[in-house]
Amino acid sequence: MKSNDLKKLAKLVRYYILASTVAAGSGHPTSSLSATDLMTVLMFGNFFRFDFAHRDNLANDRLIFSKGHASPLFYALYLAAGVITPHEMMTLRKFGSRLEGHATPRFPYTEVATGSLGQGLSVGVGMALALKMNSDLGFKIYEEDKRNNHKSKFIIHKSAPRVYVLLGDSEIAEGAVWEAVNLASYYKLSNLVAIVDVNRLGQTGETMLGWDTGRYKKRFEAFGWETAIIDGHDYKQILQCYHAAILQKKSDKPIVIIAKTIKGKGVSFLENKNGWHGKPILREQLDAALKELGKVDLKIRGKVSLPQLGIRSNELRIENNKNIRNPKFTNHNHYKLGDQVATRKAFGLALARLGETYPMIVSLDAEVSNSTYAEIFREKFPDRFFEMFVAEQNMVGAAVGFARLGFIPFVSSFVAFLTRGFDQIRMAAISGANVKFCGSHAGVSIGEDGPSQMGLEDIAMFRAVHSSVVLYPADAVATEKLVEEMVKHKGICYLRTTRPATPVIYDNNEKFPIGGIKIHYPQKTADAGEKASLVKKPVIIIAAGITLFEALKAQGELGKRGIEATVVDCYSIKPIGKEKLAKLVSTLKNKSNAPVQIVTVEDHWYDGGLGDAVLAALSDIDGIMIHKLAVSKMPQSGKPQELLDFEKISARAIVAKVLSII
């Protein structure tokens, strides 16, 4: 498309940016206007390639608006492409509309939800890594031929599709941006293109560097990026830059285009004026603003080029074409009762086993793979393991990028460090991302490393994430089964693992469905069967992970005193086995006139963890009393058992609590 036609399209885009935000009565028109020329040329100048009829085509380029508040521009571009109708454009920000204030996947051409600044480039890194796996890491894209016995036709192409990320200059202050910049250079993501809209003004005033594009250039170059500085409103410069940076690019470096722009460009009373961020113009100002745009052709539409691969299909997939380099691994992991195995190691073994069955599994670890045991997966599938270094926010964002392209990313680190990426996890949920997390070294049971290393907030954190699954296995068998359950479940899942080795207590044939529990009846009841008379003073001890073993020890000690306590392994904290717990409580209530005493025990802070999950699950049941044992004092270095005793979550503390309430 010629420069004059691109300018006509840009007028159309600006028209709908202004009109839609006036209709909505809110929005970010000035932040959208500054990047309009840049993005119009990108989308309609034969640079961005996308098959609108097949949005999941893996040959498509990807576009991420990290400056998510520029959603009026984002939607107006798709209107100019003929994807959105003018009528729908005017539903911007209205209840029920797909066009939300900050774009989410409810609008199907949104790759991931953005709007929490500083995250888009990390997602772009994940996507670029995933797409480069085709050419750099021995993967092949194939198209399923449904007319020919469902055989696969392999298609090899040299250049991976590109990932474009639009960033605002305000968000460049975010540390996560530089985590992404650093990793993109390390992995030589030549298919990643960042475009920085340097319009000088943030929400409350001038940004840190203002219009000093030279300093932006030096910073990106210091991280090993190729750079270009342009006037973001000069079409000749934009076209020449894109042509050189995209169509003629030869280096293996990622590239950033640093564009000096004017906030509010196109409307004189908005241009470079502070105080307009996040504010639409008034209705009575709209005519004057549109008059400044000049004549707008409301019927003009632009054409987006199709992918270079030349395949129009949603059936493209990525398939691993590499032979397994280390054949010593077995297909199944079997454990013997009584064996001492850390659940973190069982996680690594399970992930490596499942990697054979599920070729879309990839592993991302924050330089602790020898502790999380993700190194076992790395040894078996080196081409599907990605070292993300000590940069957890970027790791989570990149995992969202992998997930968007159909991979099943497993993100692993110490529990304490995963909390650093909570905002990225929260945004992943808004995107509906299929990301799996494993946090090791949970709780005070890690021992001597001290409180800075003790993850004690993680259950509360992941429980708060929309539609999440939170799992806490006690032994290797439970871990083995639950990792596979995570793979099968679509959505965010969190597995909490323990540092010290724990005994195997479950048979290899046991099943551990998400939402289930395991009941350990007192020995007398187990011998007599479930229908036997239980106790006169019913007691239930609910635990998970490391505290299950303390609960079982307490059960034995209480048995010696003639007190029969039923222990529940609540390995699925969310969703919790509400119906099964209620059934157990009902059974015990029917055997006794006394209230059922329930003690929850967890290696987690008092608030938001297992105890609160149990309280919520059983809140509508009468005739019960729930008592929580949890970490309540600031822990310190020491032996694991010393710390369990110190926090009163050990077998000794459980026995004392039960004796005090019956």
Q: Which residues are designated catalytic?
A: 392
State the sign of the Cα–Cα–Cα–Cα dihedral 502, 503, 509, 512.
negative
Beta bridge partners of 324: none
Burial of 519 (0-12, 13-18, 19+ CB in 10 A): middle
Measure the CA–CA gap between 421 and 26, rounded to whole angstroms: 30
Using alpha carbons, select from 570, 496, 517 the residue that is nearest to residue 347.
496
Residue 488: both structure tokens together = 């099968």
Task: Collect all residues with Cβ–Cβ distance below 8 Å to 117 and sequence separation of at least 6.
Answer: 66, 67, 68, 168, 170, 171, 174
Residue 251: both structure tokens together = 């280096």
Measure the CA–CA gap between 122 and 364, rounded to whole angstroms: 13
The residue assigned the tokens 């005519």 is: 287
Pairing mode of beta strands 255-260, 163-168: unpaired
Task: Collect all residues with Cβ–Cβ distance below 8 Å to 42 and sequence separation of at least 6.
Answer: 48, 63, 164, 195, 242
Helix (H) or strand (E) holding 412: strand 408-414
Measure the CA–CA gap between 465 and 242, rounded to whole angstroms: 39
Amino acid at 174: E
Beta bridge partners of 226: 255
Residue 266 Ramachandran class (φ > 0 left, ψ -120 to 50 alpha, else beta): left
CB atoms within 10 A of CB 533: 11
Using alpha carbons, select from 328, 195, 179 the residue that is nearest to residue 256.
195
